[in-house]
Amino acid sequence: MIRHVATTAAGFSILLALHRDCLAQERVVSLSVQPEIQTNRRVIVRGKTNLPPDTFLMISVQDELRWEPPCQTKAKVLSDGTYESELLGPLSGLKDGQYLASVTMPYARYQPEAVRRVIGDSGQNLKGPLADKGTFGNTVNAEKKFSVGGEDAAETQTARLKNDLEQYGDLTTQIKELFSRLKKTKSKRLLDDQNNLADFREWRAFARQFRSDLEAFQKCVDNIESLEARLYLAVPLGDVRSMFHDVAFAKEEEYRQSKSAYVDSLKELEDFIRERESRVPAQTPSHRPRRREAPVAPPRIPADVTYSIVSSHVVPGIKRSLDVRLNKKVSKETLHALALELKSQDSRTYERTFIAYYLPDMKVDAGAWATTHFNTGLEVRILRITLEQEQALKQQPNDPSREIIGSWLQERGFANRITIFRKDGKLFMENKYTDGSAGTAELVETSSPRGRRFDYNPDRGNGEYYLINSKGDLQQWDQDGPFLTARKIK
């Protein structure tokens, strides 16, 4: 009897060992990936595999250029060898473009014990082109490209990314100009003599405008869709803010530290932009036949556009810098023509030519309206509100339910149209921005010898209010005086 039991137990052990050996046999991995676009432009990734049931998978969807972080989720292999992800992509849906759906089996150490018995403790039983050998064993990776949108999806995606890069470049230029303005004002040493009233007033006027511009640029950065780009832009802007506070409180050592941090963060920002530029294809191939286009004539300067060179600085053979005064706002095409004409006026050769443009009421070195820089090629950038944006803000539809007190155009920083109106017996102020967003606040009118005054209702406690001056322009005041003026829209 004892011998029979022992024999039976030994036989069972042998069968169990044979079963384990069978489970642990090498297998060539198969893993299909099928992204399915839903009506809301989000994606479900499905597929089939010969990996054992309950295998843990990581599934992701990302734009093909890896512009943004991937949308990721987890799934497990079902008993029939299939798997399915949850909905992937932003709630607003994926934008037109080329995307990549990826499915990865993480290292065996993260898999259930039953799965490890099949694939091996380090995934050593997994073979084939989909098996990748890593630091902690084998993983499995499979991917499939797919398109969202029509046949122009790739071109639309490339154009969108180029627009993003142009926006990042414009904001970088504005951050540099903020630093340049602060550096120039610091060199005047306006706060050295506390008894010099003229210097103190100049500093106070500078500080009010500088704070306003910092806040406006911060809003621009906050509205950038890409989180990574926001972070890269926010750091040097924060360093400029720190330097401003260091100057205001005469903290020289802290200023040097903030400046050093600014130099580093600005380099990281510019490296980030260059790296992103390297990802964007110079030209997206199109399978559609293209019609032959007539040659484009070089841009011309319209007859009603005039300019004057305010200042010129030359480093022979290296750099030429110009400050130019325009008689009015112009289009990007006109700026292109102006740049070519101004560059051709000097027959000498320079590695770079930098041109800054100012409007009639703008102070030189206090932030240009636009720039045209010749580096490797010509870069045309409008740093503030464009002619087209101004026209769009001016041509807002009338609301018959409103009694309009006045409308003004504010062009500093985050440009917008300000409208003060009366509705249902109450006063309101509406701010409408170039991106289409808007905000409304309730006001109350109070008496003032300087003009019509409007305070927030309820009072915000910061001492700020609005005043319509004798010219009809709208000024924003605080306890130190006016610090922002918006032009009346006629």
Mean pLDDT of 104-118: 94
CA torsion 471→417→366→199, rounded to 10°? Answer: 50
Distance CA 2, CA 77 (A): 44
For position 407, which CATH number holds?
2.40.128
Q: Is the pTM of this model over 0.75?
A: no
Do 143 and 39 share a structural domain? yes
Do 139 and 241 share a structural domain? no
Look at residue 2 and tell me whether its pLDDT is greater than 70: no
Mean pLDDT of 417-435: 90
Mean pLDDT of 134-142: 92
Q: Is residue 9 part of a domain?
A: no
Q: Is residue 8 part of a domain?
A: no
Mean pLDDT of 265-271: 93
Give pLDDT, residue 216.
80
Residue 158 to residues 34, 101, 174, 454, 488, Cα–Cα distance (Å): 24, 19, 24, 46, 39
Do 394 and 369 share a structural domain? no
Q: Is residue 219 part of a domain?
A: yes
Number of structural domains (the chain) is 4
Do 135 and 208 share a structural domain? no
Mean pLDDT of 336-349: 93
Q: Is residue 14 part of a domain?
A: no
Do 415 and 478 share a structural domain? yes
What's the pLDDT band for 254 if we cut at 50, 70, 90?
very high
> Is the distance from CB of 14 to CB of 2 less than 8 angstroms?
no
pLDDT in tens, 173-226: 889 988 988 998 999 898 888 788 888 888 888 888 888 888 888 888 888 888
Distance CA 374, CA 353 (A): 5
Sign of CA dihedral 182, 165, 349, 354: negative
> Is the distance from CB of 148 to CB of 64 less than 8 angstroms?
no
Which helix H or strand E contains 442, and what residues bound it?
A: strand 438-446
Mean pLDDT of 234-243: 95
pLDDT in tens, 459-484: 776 678 999 998 999 998 887 778 78
Give pLDDT, residue 165.
86
Which helix H or strand E contains 134, and what residues bound it?
A: strand 131-134
Q: Is residue 319 part of a domain?
A: yes
Give pLDDT, residue 281.
77
Do 160 and 95 share a structural domain? no
Provide CB contacts within 8 A for 476, sequence distance 6+: 464, 465, 466, 467, 482, 483, 484, 485, 486
Do 145 and 36 share a structural domain? yes
Give pLDDT, residue 10.
52
Quick one: which of 237, 135, 203, 132 has its CA closest to 480?
Answer: 203
- The residue out of 341, 357, 384 marking a domain boundary is 384
Look at residue 287 and tell me whether its pLDDT is greater than 50: no
Mean pLDDT of 411-438: 85
DSSP output for 322-354:
EEEEESS---HHHHHHHHHHHHHT--S--SEEE
Residue 278 to residues 228, 275, 293, 381, Cα–Cα distance (Å): 16, 5, 28, 20
Give pLDDT, residue 13.
52
> Is the distance from CB of 284 to CB of 154 less than 8 angstroms?
yes
Distance CA 114, CA 56 (A): 12
- Please give the DSSP secondary-structure letter assigned to residue 56: E
Mean pLDDT of the chain: 86
Domain enclosing residue 266, as ranges = 154-279
For position 63, which CATH number holds?
2.60.40.10
Do 207 and 146 share a structural domain? no
Q: Is residue 179 part of a domain?
A: yes
Quick one: which of 95, 93, 97 has its CA closest to 154?
Answer: 97
Do 124 and 48 share a structural domain? yes
Query: Lowest-pLDDT range, 3-17, 186-200, 351-365?
Result: 3-17
Q: Is residue 287 part of a domain?
A: no
Mean pLDDT of 69-86: 94
Look at residue 117 and tell me whether its pLDDT is greater than 80: yes
79 or 396, which is more confident = 79
Query: Lowest-pLDDT range, 98-107, 336-345, 392-401, 454-463?
Result: 454-463
Do 378 and 408 share a structural domain? no
Q: What are phi and psi of 362, to 5 degrees?
A: -100, 140
Mean pLDDT of 288-296: 50
163 or 320, which is more confident = 320
- The residue out of 366, 384, 402 marking a domain boundary is 384
What are the CB-based long-range contacts (under 8 Å, 24+) for 128-132?
128/28, 128/29, 128/30, 130/29, 130/30, 130/31, 131/29
Give pLDDT, residue 357.
95
Give pLDDT, residue 73.
95
For position 208, which CATH number holds?
1.20.120
Give pLDDT, residue 424.
93
Do 50 and 107 share a structural domain? yes
Q: Is residue 469 part of a domain?
A: yes
Do 125 and 31 share a structural domain? yes
- The residue out of 359, 384, 409 marking a domain boundary is 384
Give pLDDT, residue 6.
46
Mean pLDDT of 425-435: 88
Provide CB contacts within 8 A for 265, sequence distance 6+: 235, 236, 239
